[in-house]
Chain A
């Protein structure tokens, strides 16, 4: 079953997604050593399962699904997960109304250093973090995310909305603290 052609097709299709896999592994595990193991294990599993990949579909989504399943089955129990709050019940705060006078286009976002943004993403609740990462970092569609996470598209959308709002709030608070943007006059 394995031959040189299959192997080279796999490498040609899968290797370009190593950056995505590594990023997602970091988002999920929060640990570079574990991310490294997770990426390697994902690639070996994907290689063995390559016959199940449907050509023409999104290889990145397929690989990220394997990565996430591997993480859940083999890695997650090693780390204590925070107790989930009823995330869907929290009304997301819209920071747009705080900035629409001073910086309606949100230019302050661009001043925040990469590491600080990634750190804020990694501090989102896990359910929000993975949806945001799959959508906004790895460009998966709603349908691809729903399939990868085995949740309805409506849940994907609601988590993504809340994840973005929460991240915006975190980044806005940071930007105010750093003086990248003045707080809204009413709050000053």
Chain B
């Protein structure tokens, strides 16, 4: 069970608090920016206040950045690009200049 945030004798914050369990469950959605703005703000607030969750988020963020970075290191080889362009242009010419001319 996750400890509830301590209830202080001050007015509740404007946004409803998210607990650690909820924060971790939403972490990937948050990093993909698919939570919607309201939930994103609540999560950001939680991560600013909660060191363990913040560190988990950093770890996952670095991991996702690593995968994206390695992907960016892999390019379509120039000869494949050239072959594709040639094939496309050949098809286009066949369409634009049909072999049987119409008067």
Contact = CB atoms under 8 A, between A and B. Distances in A.
Interface of A: 2-4, 7, 10-11, 15, 18-19, 21-23, 26, 36, 39-40, 43-44, 47-48, 96, 99-100, 104-107, 109-110, 112, 114, 117-118, 121, 132-133, 135-139, 141-142, 157, 160-161, 164, 167-168
Contacts of B59: 96, 99-100, 104-106
B91 interface: yes
Greatest chain B CB density within 10 A among A18, A21, A112 is at A18
B9 interface: no
- B interface, size bucket: 20 to 34
B50 interface: no
B22 interface: no
Given A4-B96, A96-B56, A132 B67 contact: yes
B76 A137 contact: no
Contacts of A164: 28, 60, 63-64
B62 interface: yes
A110 to B, nearest CB: 6
Interface in B42-101: 55-56, 58-60, 62-64, 66-68, 70-71, 73-77, 80-81, 83-85, 87-88, 91-92, 95-96
B34 A22 contact: no
